[in-house]
Structure 1
Amino acid sequence: MSNSKRNAGGSERPITVPFWLIALLAVLIGGALWMLFPKQDLERRLSVTGDDSELSYNYLSNLLKSDPGNENLRALLKAKEERLQAIKLAREEAAKQALPSAAVQAWDHWQAAYQGYLEAQKQDHRAGGQAEALAPQVMQALKDVPLQGLTQEQALYLASSALVLKDAPLALGIYDDVAERQADPARKAQVYESAARQALGMSLYEESARLLRQASATTEDVQQSRAYLWQALQVLQSGNRANEALALARQQEELLGSDPETLRKLIGLARAAGNRAEAERYAKRLLQLSLLQQWQTQVAGASGAGPDPVADDGAWALQPVAWTAPGWRMLRTADPVRKPPPGLPFDDKTYLLGYEVFLENRNLEDAWRVATAAVRQAPQDMAWRERLAQVSEWMGQQQQALDNWLVIAQNTGREDAWKTVMRLAPGLFDDRALIAGLRHQLSRRPQDAALQQALVQAYERQAEPGEAIDYLQKHGSTPQSQILLAQLAERAGRSQLALQAWKRVLADPEQRTPAHAMPAAVLALLQGEPALGLRWLEDAQTRIPAGMQDEGEYWRLLGDLAQDQRQEALTLKAYRRLLQTPHAGISDYDEVIRLLQRADRREAARMSLHAWEQFHDVRHLTQAFYLLEDLEDWTQIGSQVERILADPALVKRLQGQPTFFQILGAYYQRTAQSKKAMEAFEKGLALDPGSTPLRQGLMWLLIDTQNAAALKLLLAAAEPVWARDADMHGALAAAYMTLSRPAVALERYLKPHRAEHADDFLWMMQYADALEQNQQADRAWSLRQQLWTREKVRARAQDGAAALAARKWLTAEGLDEVQRQARSRLMLFHTQGDAEFALMRELLRMDLEGGRREHSAAAAELAIAWLQERGEYQAERGYLWQQYARSRSKSTSSPLWAEITVALAEKDVAQAGQLLQRHDEALPRYDRINAAAMVGDVRLAQTAAFESMADQPDDDPLHLALTEQLLAFSDYGGLQLRNRRMDAIDEQVSRLRWHVGLNPRWALDLDAEDVRRTVNKNTLVRGPSQERGIGLRLTRKTQSASSEFMLGRRESLEGYTPMQFTQTYNVDSRWSLQASLGRHLATQETLAMRMGGMKDRVSLGSSYQLSRLDQITLELASERYRVQSGARVGSGNHATLQYLHTYRSEAPTLQFGAFTSWHRYSRNDPALLQGRDAAILGYLPPFNDPTIDYLLPRSFRFSGLQMMFNTGYEQQYTRALRPYASLALTHHSVNGAGYELGMGLATSLFGADHLALGLNLSKSGINTVGNTRELLLTYRLHY
């Protein structure tokens, strides 16, 4: 059969290493060996050694052959040959002289036989045992040699030959004989040592050891004796006679000593002999000796100069800062409760030997102590750490074992160390070690969800969630890890990071399950992204697992978020699904009912009744009742009440519940059965006097029936207790408003709660009504304006179009009935003209929708109020008779405020008297006073007025109006003092004024003024003029216009007569025009013109009231300037534009404004003035020539922003002490930035007077340069 391998193609043998590389390595290695060869050292040793043996001679010859040119080696060889020759000759001569002929013969015979034996032994493999045959003959020849005549060398040679011939006793005897012949103990010991070596060479361990012991005993040198003894011990140990050696060492302990090296050897000997106890004894002695050495070192250090030393037991070595190296660190996790380990100076050999001995003897305690000390002093030694970790674990010191295994694992990365860490850390609850182990495992399995979960839990137990978050951010790429990151970040308070993680998870639609979407949606809601959370929850609807435990929570959360996002359809759907689960509770029914109230009130009522049947909570019955009432389904209401009353068991159970009587009383109240309602409320309060709904029901019953007498009695009896309940404050406020005491309602019950009800539309409407009733119409109007604006914005945001929103407001869809009525009021009173009328018609038309045959009470009252607002009292009276016919069949009565208003407006004394007699205290306070005055009942009017003043002590608008009306036509005299400091002069101005009211339209004012000027800077002005003046002012006022004429006489640089006429005309309530014409008026364009100039002026202006709070004013003026002697010095044109916004119109008032003005001048050169006209140049300091700017400034623009606080009270009358202030930030195009600051106090001292104290500061004003300061005192007395 042919070999199949022959048919296979040859393959080239693979070459692992190329030949050239092998050659290169060989050369490099040879070179290295050549460099390392100790040639010179060998030459040096051969030169100094005294060895003249044949071996040294041969070695030297071989060296010379390798280096023939080495003269040093050649000289050494020649010297060696000479010494060898001398020795040979000496031996031959000695042999001739020492040996007798018989001894020589015996010696020669033995030597020849022995040489033959040696040759036969070399050729033994060929001779076939010839050496063995010759051995007896050779041995006999050796014995025949006489020992007495031999030299020491010969005797020793014979002894060694005997050993070769295996006759140990003979050899030993020869050695003993040679030793006995030695007189010197040292020589004798050397003989024994040489014999021991020969015996050892022949494997005669016992004989060799005995000879060495004899050598040890013979020598007088202790060190040499100890060395011989150690050699004996080593020989015995080499001959596997360790026990004999150990026994010998125990006998010779005194000779061997106790130095560390000796003890180490003894420990090794004991261990070789298997005697663990003896090894441990020696180990302890070794450690004690080390401790003694340490103590001696400390004593030696203490004996020297310097500070007292501190014993260093190496404890510092276990501190984390004792040793650091890249890649590992010590983590201190616990302190083992053990006795302190010995403080030994670190010696690795000693420590390792002691450790091993203790461990072999199962003395774990001492092994642990040694390992601990070693680790303390060499923390970087991982081998010692491993030993300490092992022995600590064996001893039950698991924590210390874990600490050291952790260091080993972190420093070496050994897998077995990490496994041990992971084995120990969980049981010890050492989370730091566990974290390190988990992170190591995660480095190999980074996406292991279980490991990530364990790592996160460990970090959290360590209160270090940030580390876990950082790890998950870097390594978490799976959905599970991102979910873990989101949950952890949320628990750590990093909600934004958690939300980002959820976004990454839920970007996959498959991950949008209820379990994931619910926490993510809650987080999104908290982070201001509710729409995103709602979208997640909505997507999860299709992934609800069967039998989901938290299904109810899911639907509840979906409903809540949808409600926040105003998705009522989705909210209702979610809560309906929730009601189908067993998790639905009473609050869920409440939410469904609330939602249905907007969408389907009838269904909401049905659901309320279902909740009543399900939970038997009376509030559901109450809710169903109110819903049915809004639907005007009195049949259903009656049937429910009858069903309750027809069930004695149910009635008996409900009679013990105050809420039942609340329902019953509300039903009777709404069906105009006020007596039954009163009885029901009283029974309920008897059961529960603290019931807020019952208290409110009774209060509102008295308010609705306008039973003022009973209401006053109830307030007197119950208000101190009921006022403690904050929920009663609304009803109490309404009661006081019914009694026409709005100040009490505001101060006690409305103002304290305004902040918390700022977003409550109905409450704020009630607050506005109270303000209006309290004669604070401006504030009420402002509040309603704000509510109107806010509701419009909200409606636009919901519906997208104002028209659609307004249309929706007029319907009941999605709105509460009361809110709809309030909004209708706002819409009506914020619309004017044809739009107002159209809106009113639409409201009344829509009120009749749904089959209603007559208007509701709310619509009727709205129409009445609208007619009253427009002053259509006849139409209002006709509508009252039409709407509220005098019929017993009517369950409602006409509004009292409407009837009394119509009666007073039309001067219907009879009707006013009837209303006053029938209702009296129920009438509004002002209407009551006016009605009493109209019918002539002065005492009742006085009583009503007194009561009104007592109940309304802070009715500022009423007091102010009365005071203003009295003081508007009164005469007064006044004094004004000003102290003004300017850049160059100071002015003291004194002014007297006498005002005479001729009649309500005409008034006359007489003024006298004195101005004293002094210089404060001689470099700017000198010789300022003093000024005196007197003036007369005649004023006429009508409803649409006012006129003023002024005529006076002034004396300054020259005398002149100013006069001016001013006319103001009111085009309508918003727009007014002003015009003024003046001649020889005082001017303040410059300092010189202020003292010696005058002007002619014509102006035209207009003011427009943009709104009740905003006003804009424009004024144009043209002026001609003259010196007081008559010469013209220039002209100017001025334009002023001002905007003023009244932020607050009631005291304290606050206004903001902005203004700007343009001033353009045409100037003549003052140097051209001559004669009397040049007198004005006398104000200049000496040697100063007038410039073009001396009399008139250059053209400029003056602008600024201003704020005014109560500034009107600087002149207006006030009884209270009122501060006032103004601030303007200005900019002068020539002089730069400036300011005007004014502040002061105004009050009345004696009642019919006015006092104002003020301080004004300014910089770079319109007619002043630099800083100006002014002090002001004004006082006037009315009589």
Structure 2
Amino acid sequence: MAAQASRVLYDADTAEPDDYRRLYLTQLHQAPKQAFDIALVGWRRTHQPDLFLNAVAAAVAAGKPAWLTQAYDGLPANEIDRLQRLPGYWTGLAALHASRNQLNAAQAAYARALAISPDDDQLWADDLWMLVDHHDRQTLSALLPKLSSSAGDHPTLWSPMAAGYALIGQPQHALPLLDRQWSRHAGDPAWLAAYADTAQQAGHPLIARRLRRHVFEHLAARPDTPAHASAIQRDRLLASLATQLLPGDPARKWIAKLARQPRSAQARAEVLAWTLQLDTDDSARLWRQQAYGPSNALPAWARLSLALRADDASSAAALLSHDLDALPVQDAANAASTLGWTPLATQLYFDDLRDRSDAYDALSAFRPLALAGSDRIGTGLALMRASGLSLIDTHLATRHWLTPGLALAGRVDLGAQSAYDNSLLGPPPTASRQAQLALTRTLRRGSFSASLGGGRNLAGYLTAGAGWEYRWSRRLSTTASLAYGATPSASVPLQIGAREDRLELTASFEPTPRNALYGSFHTGEYRAQGGGYLGGITALSLDVEHRLWLSPPSLRISASLSGARFRRAARLPAQLAALVPAGETPDVGFFIPRDYAQACVGGGFNDRYQQDYTPLLRPFASANVCANSDYGPGYLATAGVALPVAGPDHLALSLQLGTNLGATGSTTQTLTLSYRYYFKPID
């Protein structure tokens, strides 16, 4: 009713400023041209600056340069001087200059606006969006680093800065900004799809794929159009996701549409790629017969896929040898890696990087491939104090690839031991030493390893082991390992005087990019060094992890449940009695802990860089608080830094403190320094 009354006054040319404002607001979303005209007429009749700014805002929101020209042309000089004191005058003028591709003038106009209101985050954000929309990489490259130091406290800047970093080819800086907005946009399919694109560009293809799958499932399950997107935008997003998702994902309806067009070469290839990746060969065979037949030869990439599916190594090798130029680089590199041709795969990615410096997908694949396929040598120093034992341990480890896919690794450990608390531990041997050789064979979907070694602590011993890893899918992987003469971890006295024969099974499942579930089962028997049965263990653990940020600093929170049940021998082998503190009766119970159950919660950031290569200095830390049924409350905290020193290497320094965890009811302190060098360049 108020709008109707204002309309009557407007038509009669007797409206007041508030009438123009009211009419402008009622028309802005339904009829932006009418809102613009009303505000401009109101400005010319009342000379209220806010009405001019309303007209400019309507023109900018509608993306109509002609309206802006109409607003700015013919402004009286005395009014211009008054309007120039308002930031909105300059931002509208900047939009007008930008529409004419006069970016220098537009940027100068934004500079005038920011000089008036330097603390207005929205002005900075609008300036960044303008630069992004016009692909002004040079200005963005100079401006974004200046804003980065203060962006953390200014959420309005996160989205345009992320878009800017992605545009200039620095997606690793865009991801942390997007991570901060996750909780607000987690239900927005378009935002999640853009996040997936940035993750792909930054070298996280698995995260990108899982996000795209989640978005597609969300859109496909809701035929109604989301409030923030039109039906056309929704269909376009679905089609884009269907072409990006790997076969087996829920984009089948879109592939079915393409399958009705077998005469289209593009549709034919899209459906062929889809069917080749399905779990069965039936669909691929039927489609090849229907769409290709004898007259249309299969493309080289399809023949390569068929050879790999059939484990036809000779055909795949022939294609790589004779049709390499006809194969997509990524397909050829993946095939070379599958065949164990690591040098060729590394070279293919390197060639792709040389031709496309912004090929972040190739960069992300090249680095781990080069590192995983390189010879290396490493050393480390650990200082530990726990349960009365003081240990200084040094090690030297090396790995050499005998052939692509077959690696030989060796490790030697030397330790100096002493008791710092005679009430907790009797006098241990002054030195411990161990050496081991391991042979690892990489498989198509995992690896197999075998090891052999020996050492001496309280007495001499032999070690042997075998391990198998299998990746069932991108979400699920399992491992199984057998060990003879392994080092026990349940208690310090066991570590010094015993060996463990054990079986361990683990599983890792990641239902979403941000959530992971880990489980393990461990059973073993303890033998005294020098002979004699001590007891055994059966342990279970379940860990749940949620990643708050997917990119560095890779924040995560976690929770775990674990427990162990121990078995004890009837009597203690005589040679272990010296490790029992003076005054205590030598008994198996000193070596074999009590049963326990334990629950922990905690979190951390950048944990992976304790072991993984990083091209930059990365701090890392984690902390957990626990409730243990045997020892009560406890904690475990780790902090340190990892960095490269001379290029393809890894240096890590960390300090770990803990108490009352697992089967150990005492304080543990460990200082670790480790260094690894890779003998193949990664740059």
Gap change, CA 1:781 and 1:1183, over 3 Å in 2: closer
Alignment of 1:162-173 (within 5 A): none
Task: Pick the aligned partner of 1:597 from 28, 38, 46.
Answer: 28
Question: Residue in 1 aligned with 2:421?
Answer: 1017
Gap change, CA 1:965 and 1:720, over 3 Å in 2: farther
DSSP-derived class of the 1:832 partner: helix
Q: AA paired with 1:990?
A: T
Displacement of 1:1058? 1.8
Task: Give the conservation status (yes or no) of the 8 Å contact 2:441–2:449.
Answer: yes
Distance 1:1052 1:1145 in 2: 43
Displacement of 1:579? 7.3
Displacement of 1:1226? 2.3
Question: Residue in 1 aligned with 2:436?
Answer: 1031
Task: Pick the aligned partner of 1:695 from 91, 94, 105.
Answer: 94
Q: AA paired with 1:1008?
A: V
Distance 1:610 1:877 in 2: 57
Displacement of 1:1160? 0.8
Question: Residue in 1 aligned with 2:472?
Answer: 1067
Task: Give the conservation status (yes or no) of the 8 Å contact 2:596–2:662.
Answer: no
Matched, 1:1087 2:484: no
Task: Give the conservation status (yes or no) of the 8 Å contact 1:1004–1:1032.
Answer: yes
Matched, 1:788 2:188: no
Matched, 1:1223 2:614: no
Matched, 1:831 2:215: yes
Note the residue ranges of structure 2 that are not aligned, 5 or more in a row.
115-122, 190-210, 247-253, 268-300, 303-322, 326-347
Displacement of 1:1232? 2.0
Distance 1:751 1:1240 in 2: 23
Gap change, CA 1:1065 and 1:840, over 3 Å in 2: farther
Note the residue ranges of structure 1 that are not aligned, 5 or more in a row.
1-569, 645-650, 662-684, 703-710, 793-826, 849-857, 880-904, 910-929, 949-954
DSSP-derived class of the 1:1106 partner: strand
Task: Give the conservation status (yes or no) of the 8 Å contact 2:384–2:391.
Answer: yes
Gap change, CA 1:1117 and 1:655, over 3 Å in 2: same
DSSP-derived class of the 2:164 partner: helix
1:200-255 residue CA offsets vs partner (Å, 9 max, x unmatched): xxxxxxxxxxxxxxxxxxxxxxxxxxxxxxxxxxxxxxxxxxxxxxxxxxxxxxxx
Displacement of 1:1006? 0.6
DSSP-derived class of the 1:1194 partner: coil
DSSP-derived class of the 2:548 partner: strand
Question: Residue in 2 aligned with 1:1108?
Answer: 513
Q: AA paired with 1:694?
A: L
Distance 2:621 2:226 in 1: 49
Task: Pick the aligned partner of 1:993 from 375, 397, 414.
Answer: 397
1:525-575 residue CA offsets vs partner (Å, 9 max, x unmatched): xxxxxxxxxxxxxxxxxxxxxxxxxxxxxxxxxxxxxxxxxxxxx885797
Question: Residue in 1 aligned with 2:272?
Answer: none
Task: Pick the aligned partner of 1:1137 from 538, 542, 549.
Answer: 542
DSSP-derived class of the 1:1096 partner: strand
Question: Residue in 1 aligned with 2:557?
Answer: 1152
Displacement of 1:1126? 3.7
Task: Give the conservation status (yes or no) of the 8 Å contact 1:1053–1:1124.
Answer: yes
Matched, 1:1119 2:524: yes
DSSP-derived class of the 1:1069 partner: coil
Distance 1:574 1:749 in 2: 48
Task: Give the conservation status (yes or no) of the 8 Å contact 1:605–1:627.
Answer: no
Displacement of 1:967? 3.1
DSSP-derived class of the 1:1166 partner: coil
Q: AA paired with 2:183?
A: Q
Q: AA paired with 2:216?
A: Q
Displacement of 1:1008? 0.2
Question: Residue in 2 aligned with 1:1055?
Answer: 460
Distance 2:404 2:3 in 1: 69
1:418-446 residue CA offsets vs partner (Å, 9 max, x unmatched): xxxxxxxxxxxxxxxxxxxxxxxxxxxxx
Task: Give the conservation status (yes or no) of the 8 Å contact 1:1022–1:1180.
Answer: yes
Displacement of 1:600? 5.3
Displacement of 1:1136? 0.6
Task: Give the conservation status (yes or no) of the 8 Å contact 1:1166–1:1190.
Answer: no
Q: Larger Cα Rg: Structure 1 or Structure 2?
A: 1
Task: Give the conservation status (yes or no) of the 8 Å contact 1:768–1:784.
Answer: no
Task: Give the conservation status (yes or no) of the 8 Å contact 1:1163–1:1192.
Answer: yes
Question: Residue in 1 aligned with 2:335?
Answer: none
The two structures have a TM-score, normalised by structure 2, of: 0.66
Displacement of 1:988? 1.4
**Higher fraction of strand:** 2
Alignment of 1:852-1001 (within 5 A): 865-866=240-241, 869-870=244-245, 945=357, 963-998=367-402, 1001=405
Q: AA paired with 1:747?
A: P
Distance 1:1268 1:622 in 2: 67
* Identical-residue share of aligned pairs (%): 20
Displacement of 1:1176? 1.5
Q: AA paired with 2:645?
A: L
Gap change, CA 1:622 and 1:1240, over 3 Å in 2: closer
Displacement of 1:1009? 0.7
Displacement of 1:1147? 2.1
Task: Give the conservation status (yes or no) of the 8 Å contact 2:397–2:410.
Answer: yes
Task: Pick the aligned partner of 1:1176 from 576, 579, 587.
Answer: 576
Q: AA paired with 1:696?
A: A
Alignment of 1:553-568 (within 5 A): none
Gap change, CA 1:740 and 1:1142, over 3 Å in 2: farther
1:573-625 residue CA offsets vs partner (Å, 9 max, x unmatched): 79779979999643542243223233555764674576467447766766777
1:652-692 residue CA offsets vs partner (Å, 9 max, x unmatched): x954569999xxxxxxxxxxxxxxxxxxxxxxx9xx9x944
Question: Residue in 1 aligned with 2:271?
Answer: none
Task: Give the conservation status (yes or no) of the 8 Å contact 2:450–2:467.
Answer: yes
1:1122-1149 residue CA offsets vs partner (Å, 9 max, x unmatched): 1123422222211111112222232223
Task: Give the conservation status (yes or no) of the 8 Å contact 1:828–1:836.
Answer: no
Question: Residue in 2 aligned with 1:1277?
Answer: 677
Gap change, CA 1:1205 and 1:864, over 3 Å in 2: closer
Count of matched residue pairs: 545
The two structures have a TM-score, normalised by structure 1, of: 0.37
Task: Give the conservation status (yes or no) of the 8 Å contact 2:619–2:640.
Answer: yes
Distance 1:629 1:982 in 2: 68
Matched, 1:1006 2:410: yes
Distance 1:1022 1:1161 in 2: 23
Displacement of 1:1274? 1.0
Distance 1:1177 1:1028 in 2: 21
Alignment of 1:314-329 (within 5 A): none
Q: AA paired with 2:164?
A: A
Displacement of 1:986? 1.3
Gap change, CA 1:698 and 1:1266, over 3 Å in 2: same
